[in-house]
Chains A and B, each alone.
Chain A
């Protein structure tokens, strides 16, 4: 039942955040990430926390879903914190044999932990409230200026959205091929790494051939429906900023301004 896996992790809803233009959310996420690097003091992090909490509350998404994303980076987080604690030189506050903990190390690792956590949480909120297709559209729209320096922005966006459509199909197909080969006695589990890789051949060959056939079919179907690249193309759902987007931009500007002021004043 691979088709039940929703790609990305979109959580359907109708909150203010869901209704924002995806470009606003993309820019907003970027602004938030920048902000957690601008802030570097306790009052600064307090402002970022209030901002993040407000956004979580506005999204109406169960917080446990939002924090689920943190589990994946837990190991990375622990390693980063460890490295920073033990390897930053400075005023020693505690030591045992070769392990030394400095005041600077503690404060740096604390900051790293907060930044990493907020970064992941912030982007999770974006992917939870925005469908992959909306994100692709937003990127296409925001990157459009690159067209002038001959970056095929439309084509890249089209490729991404097709990939999003076909990943669940290919995952389901992988499952079917595995079953078909298992029925012929194939073994995908036991053996060492080399044996395991070799055992993947009966799975990978049919999968690649099928993917190429699908690509071929799809190209033909697209051509038959008059697809000829981005030129002269209109959009069924063009992105348009609405009032809430302008409001969001005002809030974002104020938020970033606070960050700038804090930095300058040195709080």
Chain B
């Protein structure tokens, strides 16, 4: 079920002193089973864009098609759309409200018309799939740690069985371990459920590790839409937008300039490590000879 944006523009407070052109002529197509990263600094329009995907915001001009249908068409059911295109916002505190986690996660499915009995299995499945421990199911959502709240909030959207799951900064405020856990879980979800994941993040490192397509937003426009390593090769332009490529990209470029034949496509620690080792062997580096016992 692809999403398509055709010439989508959005203006906040049009014709006033506070007018902001948040999106300018966006053209995009999101295919099934993709794992997409969206990056851009605050105010770049990325949050506005994702809220267009599930009809929380109506574009000022242009059309958005879901599965070929205009989602702002006359008889289009936008509530059904919202359960097919799930959006989990950045702050779990903005959605958790029930007495216990399980009931909270049932909220979405029950809004879809399921009874509590029918909703509960969906909720349980979703909670387990995001790595939420069963022993905490009946805890109050307000007693949870930051990471657990985040999981409960994502499960709250996942339980509605969306075909596309949009995650706005799922790792903000989490510590490194919590961050890696949750991203691993999301990556697994993508393959287990076969759904499309759109990950909005500030972290280039996370995007490089998990996604296969990266959309860079700046001043309401899509500036890059390509494989992450291709986007990172424009690291100088990214810096001008207040963004930065992963540290590894800078290192690889620096090494290449100094004559080490490394692969510039490497944008994760694992890839870089492999490529550097290979390059060091090619140039017969003294660094390997002295201590290279188990290579």
Contacts and interface: CB of A to CB of B under 8 A. Distances in A.
Interface of A: 1, 4, 173, 176-177, 179-187, 201-202, 205-206, 209-210, 213
B12 A1 contact: yes
Contacts of A206: 93-97
A209 B93 CA distance: 8
Most chain B CB neighbours (cut-off 10 Å) among A180, A184, A187, A210? A184
Contacts, number: 66
A31 B157 CA distance: 58
Contacts of B157: 183-184
Interface string B92-115: 011111000000000110011000
Given A184-B160, A205-B97, A176 B89 contact: yes
A-B CB proximity, top 10 nearest: A185-B111, A205-B97, A184-B108, A180-B95, A180-B94, A183-B87, A4-B18, A180-B89, A177-B94, A1-B12
B82 interface: yes
B56 A182 contact: yes
Contacts of B201: none
Interface residues of B, number: 29
Contacts of A202: 95, 97, 107
Interface in B43-101: 51, 54, 56, 79, 82-83, 86-89, 91, 93-97
A173 B93 CA distance: 10
A177 B95 contact: yes
Contact of B156 (A1, A182, A184): A184
Given A4-B13, A182-B56, A201 B97 contact: yes
A185 B107 CA distance: 8
A201 B20 CA distance: 32
B72 to A, nearest CB: 15
Contact of A176 (B16, B82, B91): B91
B97 A183 contact: no
Most chain A CB neighbours (cut-off 10 Å) among B56, B79, B97? B97
B13 A179 contact: no
Contacts of B96: 206
B89 A186 contact: no
A179 B97 contact: no
> Main secondary structure on chain B at its contact with chain A?
mixed
Interface in B142-190: 142, 156-157, 160
B157 to A, nearest CB: 6
Contacts of B16: 4
Contacts of A182: 56, 82
A179 B166 CA distance: 14
A184 B82 CA distance: 7
Most chain A CB neighbours (cut-off 10 Å) among B18, B56, B87, B95? B95
B167 to A, nearest CB: 12
Given A4-B18, A176-B89, A180-B89, A186 B111 contact: yes
Contacts of A180: 89, 91, 94-95
Given A1-B18, A202-B107, A184 B95 contact: yes
Contact of B82 (A4, A173, A185, A209): A185
Nearest to B54: A183
Nearest to B108: A184
Contacts of A201: 97
Contacts of A210: 93-94
Contact of B107 (A1, A184, A209): A184
Given A177-B95, A206-B93, A206-B95, A183 B82 contact: yes
Contact of A185 (B51, B91, B97, B108): B108
Contact of B112 (A4, A179, A185): A185
A94 B287 CA distance: 110
Given A180-B91, A183-B86, A185-B108, 15 more contacts: A4-B13, A176-B89, A177-B94, A177-B95, A179-B51, A179-B89, A180-B89, A180-B94, A183-B87, A183-B89, A184-B160, A185-B111, A185-B112, A187-B79, A206-B97
A213 B12 CA distance: 30
Given A1-B12, A206-B96, A185 B160 contact: yes
A266 B260 CA distance: 102
9 contacts: A177-B95, A180-B89, A181-B95, A182-B56, A184-B111, A184-B156, A186-B107, A206-B93, A206-B97
B145 to A, nearest CB: 15
Nearest to A184: B108
Interface in B7-64: 12-13, 16, 18, 20, 51, 54, 56
Contacts of B51: 179
Nearest to A201: B97
A206 B156 CA distance: 15
A201 B107 CA distance: 12
